[in-house]
A = this chain, B = another copy of it.
Amino acid sequence: MVEEITPAGELFCDPDVDRAREFFRAKPRRMESKVTSVKEAVSRFIHDGDYIGIGGFGANRIPTAILHEIVRQGKKHLGLSGHTATHDCQILAAGECFDRVDVAYVVGLEARGLSKAARRLFEEGKLKVTEWTNATLAWRYKAAAMGVPFLPCRVMFGTDTYKYSAAKEIRCPFTGTKLLAVPALYPDVAIIHVHRADIYGNCQIDGIMVSDSDLARAAKCVIVTTERLIPNEEIRREPTKTAIPYYLVDAVIEVPYGSYPGNMAYEYFSDEEHLKAWLEAENDPDTYKEFVNKYIFSVNSHWEYINLCGGMERLSQLRALELMIPLNANGEA
């Protein structure tokens, strides 16, 4: 006999499609310039208590500038979709910005190790945590993007991940197959870094999409940072390439090297030395405080941050590394 389980996890976002429809009905969709600054975007579109979803994948194509600004502006009580949140989670943990998390992957930085500072938040009991998986969080975005309150899938059964989720078991009305229903996730704000965007918010992304196509459609508000702004004509020249159309987007900011110290495919590789320094700084509370002060609070812009980290000289190396172009006779970038 199989035990009937009612998962214990809290549902942080309302999956109701009709309330979401009313919101989207009212959302303005004029094609007009949404170009703004990082400061303005964060102060205008991110409010204490909002639930946020972050594009890219942990330390790849992440919106670093926005994340730093969230910490600088002292945003609090955010909800976080921990959909492979690695360095992004680490940044927000530095500001203790969030107090509830849908966890698929947090506190780790993959092969690089674990963030002590992020772990501390989870271990001190200061957060509300609901467990999910990368796929179920992806499908929760997709449900919202599709305008349905749930999607069925076939994972999580029989595990504690399920017990501490907010999913439900259902049966297929056609085949009787047992399925897991995951509820639509409509984040208040999505923050996504892209390769190219026009001033209206039409975006192109090169390489893997991760879940950003669905995330941009699921979110009630979308903030885009872009490596470069391009003319609308360029978007219209290859409409096949538009990953995020303008009517989803509320703010566009040109932030060159905006994923730094993360990887940006075809542009620059991740700065493993800086990421390592960050992890090491977390070993000691005073060092860590100093580190965060130096690299986030004392800094005014993403360019300033980059200059602290070696500036364009360092970025040239990371660019060579990404493109695998040797910069010296030893074949090193």
Contact = CB atoms under 8 A, between A and B. Distances in A.
A172 B152 contact: no
Given A207-B239, A240-B206, A16 B175 contact: yes
A201 interface: no
Nearest to A266: B240
Interface in A154-175: 154, 168, 170, 172-175
Contacts of A148: 151-154, 179
A18 B11 CA distance: 30
A154 B150 CA distance: 12
Protomer copies: 2
A149 B170 contact: no
Interface residues of A, number: 29
9 contacts: A16-B175, A16-B177, A17-B154, A17-B175, A151-B151, A170-B173, A205-B240, A206-B240, A207-B240
B177 A183 contact: no
Given A15-B174, A148-B151, A151-B152, 7 more contacts: A11-B174, A17-B175, A147-B154, A148-B179, A149-B174, A152-B152, A172-B181
Interface in A44-79: none
Given A174-B15, A181-B173, A152 B154 contact: no
Contacts of A151: 148, 151-152
A240 B239 CA distance: 14
Contacts of A179: 148-149
